[in-house]
C-alpha cells in the first residue's frame, strides 16, 4: 500500500440508493449505484422498504464495484461508509456491512458525514478532468433533505453560513411535483417538463427569511392554492399548462437559491462558488450558477451528473482525506441519523 494512494472501498446507504465505489487515492476506479424503484408507488421513500432493498442490493453492488475497478478484496486498504445523516434503518445496512468487511480483513474503518461527501465530490479525479476549487470556497448543497450554504476552509473545516428553516429545495421540487401529479422523485421530471415551458408565465412569491437563510414551504402552499383556483375554472389546467407550470416553479426555486447565494458570497468575500447534492443536477440551477461567471466574475464549480445524487464515490473521496489524517473509527461505531456538517 502507498500511504498517499490508498485503495478505499466506500459504501453509501443513507436514503434510497445503495452505492459502492473504489478509489485509489483521489482517482475513481468504479462507482456503482442501485436505486430503489419500490418507493415510486408510495410517492416518497418508505424507510422499512428502503432498508430491506439495501440488504438485497449491498453485496451485488459491492461485488460489481470491485469487478469494474479490477480490484481484489485483499488489495483494499480501508473501508469508508456513510455514518449519517440519513434514515437510521438504511444507514445501519451500510454501516454493518462496512464494519464487518473492515473487521474481517483487519483494515481501518472510516466514518463519513454524507453532507461533507456531497461537497468533497468536487475533488474526485476522473475522466472529466474538471478544475478543482481551492480553499476557502463556498458550496450550496441542495438535496432532498438539505439546503445549506457552507464555507469550506479545508477538507475537514466546514461552517454553515445559511440554511433552510423548513423544506429543502429538493423536497420543494418533489412536493410540488406530487401536487401536479408527477411521480416520485419529481425534481428531475419538473426539470424535464420545464425545458419546453415559459419560466416567466406564472409568478410565485419569494419568502421573507433571515439574510442567508431559505424557506420553501410557502412556495409549495402558494402553488397548491394557485392550482386549486385555476382548476375550478378549467379542470384540464395542469395538463394544458404543464410545461409553463414546471418552468415557472423551477425558475422561482432557482432564483431564490441564487439570490441568497450571491448575498452570502459578497458578505464572505469569496469568489469561488460550488454546488452539490441532488438538486445540483437541475439544468436551471446549473445554468444560473454558470451565468454568474459572466455577470459577477465568480469562478463556479458544477459537479458531473454522476456525483449530484447520492453515490459512494463522494464517500470515498471524503474517506481519502480522513485516511491521510489517520482519522479512523472503532469497529464498535453506530450510525447517526442526525448529524450536522460541523460535527464529523
141 binds Zn ion (CB under 5 A): no
DSSP 13: -
Do 249 and 257 form a contact (C-beta atoms < 8 A)? no
310 binds Zn ion (CB under 5 A): yes
138 binds ligand KG4 (CB under 6 A): no
319 binds ligand KG4 (CB under 6 A): no
Nearest distance in Å: CB 120, ligand KG4: 14
Q: Which of 133, 188, 303, 316 binds ligand KG4 (CB under 6 A)?
A: 188
Which uninterrupted H or E stretch holds 250?
helix 237-268
Nearest distance in Å: CB 104, ligand KG4: 29
Nearest distance in Å: CB 107, ligand KG4: 27
Cβ proximity to ligand KG4, 305 vs 331, nearer residue: 305
191 binds ligand KG4 (CB under 6 A): yes
Cβ proximity to ligand KG4, 286 vs 322, nearer residue: 286
Q: Which of 143, 164, 215, 248 binds ligand KG4 (CB under 6 A)?
A: 143
20 binds ligand KG4 (CB under 6 A): no
Whether the bond between 85 and the residue before it is cis, its omega within 30 degrees of 0, is: yes
Cβ proximity to ligand KG4, 245 vs 270, nearer residue: 245
Residue 185's binding partner among Zn ion, ligand KG4, none (Cβ under 5 to 8 angstroms by kind) is ligand KG4
Compute the half-sphere exposure of residue 279: CA atoms within 13 Å on the CB side of its CA.
28
Cβ proximity to ligand KG4, 281 vs 339, nearer residue: 281
Q: How far apart are CA 43 and CA 318, in angstroms?
A: 31
Q: Which of 170, 197, 303, 316 binds ligand KG4 (CB under 6 A)?
A: 170
Q: How far apart are CA 163 and CA 166, in angstroms?
A: 9
Please, is 126 exposed, middle or buried when counting C-beta atoms within 10 Å of its C-beta (0-12, 13-18, 19+)?
middle
Grid coordinates standing for 136? 476557502
279 binds ligand KG4 (CB under 6 A): yes
Q: Which of 89, 187, 303, 319 binds ligand KG4 (CB under 6 A)?
A: 187
Beta bridge partners of 12: 19
Inter-CA distances, 73 with 11, 110, 152, Å: 14, 17, 34
Do 290 and 275 form a contact (C-beta atoms < 8 A)? no
310 binds ligand KG4 (CB under 6 A): yes
Per-state percent for the chain, helix, strand, coil, to nearest 5:
45, 20, 35
15 binds ligand KG4 (CB under 6 A): yes
173 binds ligand KG4 (CB under 6 A): yes
Q: Which of 31, 90, 143, 252 binds Zn ion (CB under 5 A)?
A: 143
Do 3 and 16 form a contact (C-beta atoms < 8 A)? no
Nearest of 140, 123, 144 to residue 132 by alpha carbon: 123
275 binds ligand KG4 (CB under 6 A): no
Inter-CA distances, 268 with 161, 262, 273, 288, 319, Å: 9, 10, 11, 20, 28
94 binds ligand KG4 (CB under 6 A): no
197 binds ligand KG4 (CB under 6 A): no
Please, is 311 exposed, middle or buried when counting C-beta atoms within 10 Å of its C-beta (0-12, 13-18, 19+)?
buried
Cβ proximity to ligand KG4, 202 vs 216, nearer residue: 216
Nearest distance in Å: CB 277, ligand KG4: 4
Beta bridge partners of 28: 23
Cβ proximity to ligand KG4, 89 vs 278, nearer residue: 278
Residues contributing to the site for ligand KG4 (CB under 6 A): 15, 143-145, 170, 173-174, 185, 187-188, 191, 277-279, 281-282, 309-310
Applying CB under 5 A, which residues contact Zn ion? 143, 310
Amino acid at each position: 500500500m502507498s500511504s498517499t494512494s490508498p485503495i478505499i472501498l466506500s459504501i453509501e446507504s443513507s436514503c434510497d440508493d445503495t452505492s459502492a465505489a473504489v478509489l485509489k487515492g483521489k482517482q475513481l476506479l468504479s462507482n456503482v449505484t442501485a436505486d430503489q424503484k419500490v418507493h415510486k408507488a408510495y410517492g416518497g421513500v418508505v424507510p422499512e422498504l428502503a432498508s430491506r432493498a439495501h440488504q438485497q442490493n449491498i453485496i451485488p453492488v459491492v461485488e460489481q464495484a470491485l469487478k469494474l475497478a479490477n480490484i481484489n478484496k485483499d488489495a483494499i486498504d480501508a473501508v469508508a461508509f456513510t455514518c449519517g445523516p440519513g434514515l437510521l434503518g438504511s444507514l445501519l445496512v451500510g454501516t454493518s456491512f462496512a464494519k464487518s468487511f473492515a473487521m474481517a480483513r483487519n483494515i481501518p474503518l472510516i466514518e463519513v458525514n454524507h453532507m461533507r461527501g456531497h461537497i468533497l465530490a468536487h475533488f474526485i479525479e476522473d475522466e472529466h478532468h474538471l478544475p478543482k476549487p481551492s480553499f476557502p470556497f463556498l458550496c450550496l448543497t441542495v438535496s432532498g433533505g438539505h439546503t445549506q450554504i457552507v464555507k469550506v476552509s479545508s477538507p475537514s473545516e466546514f461552517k454553515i453560513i445559511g440554511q433552510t428553516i423548513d423544506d429543502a429545495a429538493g423536497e420543494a421540487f418533489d412536493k410540488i411535483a406530487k401536487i401536479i401529479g408527477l411521480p416520485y422523485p419529481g425534481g428531475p421530471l419538473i426539470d424535464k417538463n420545464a425545458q419546453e415551458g415559459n419560466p416567466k408565465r406564472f409568478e410565485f412569491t419569494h419568502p421573507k427569511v433571515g439574510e442567508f437563510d431559505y424557506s420553501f414551504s410557502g412556495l409549495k402552499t402558494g402553488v397548491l392554492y394557485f392550482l386549486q383556483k385555476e382548476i375550478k375554472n378549467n379542470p384540464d389546467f395542469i395538463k394544458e399548462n404543464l410545461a409553463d407550470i414546471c418552468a415557472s416553479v423551477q425558475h422561482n426555486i432557482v432564483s431564490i437559491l441564487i439570490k441568497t447565494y450571491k448575498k452570502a458570497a459578497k458578505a464572505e468575500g469569496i469568489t469561488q462558488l460550488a454546488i452539490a447534492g441532488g438538486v445540483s443536477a437541475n439544468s436551471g440551477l446549473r445554468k444560473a450558477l454558470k451565468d454568474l461567471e459572466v455577470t459577477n466574475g465568480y469562478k463556479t464549480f458544477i459537479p458531473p451528473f454522476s456525483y449530484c445524487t447520492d453515490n459512494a464515490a463522494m464517500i470515498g473521496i471524503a474517506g481519502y482525506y480522513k485516511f491521510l489524517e489517520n482519522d479512523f473509527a472503532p469497529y464498535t461505531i453506530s450510525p447517526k441519523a442526525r448529524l450536522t456538517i460541523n460535527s464529523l
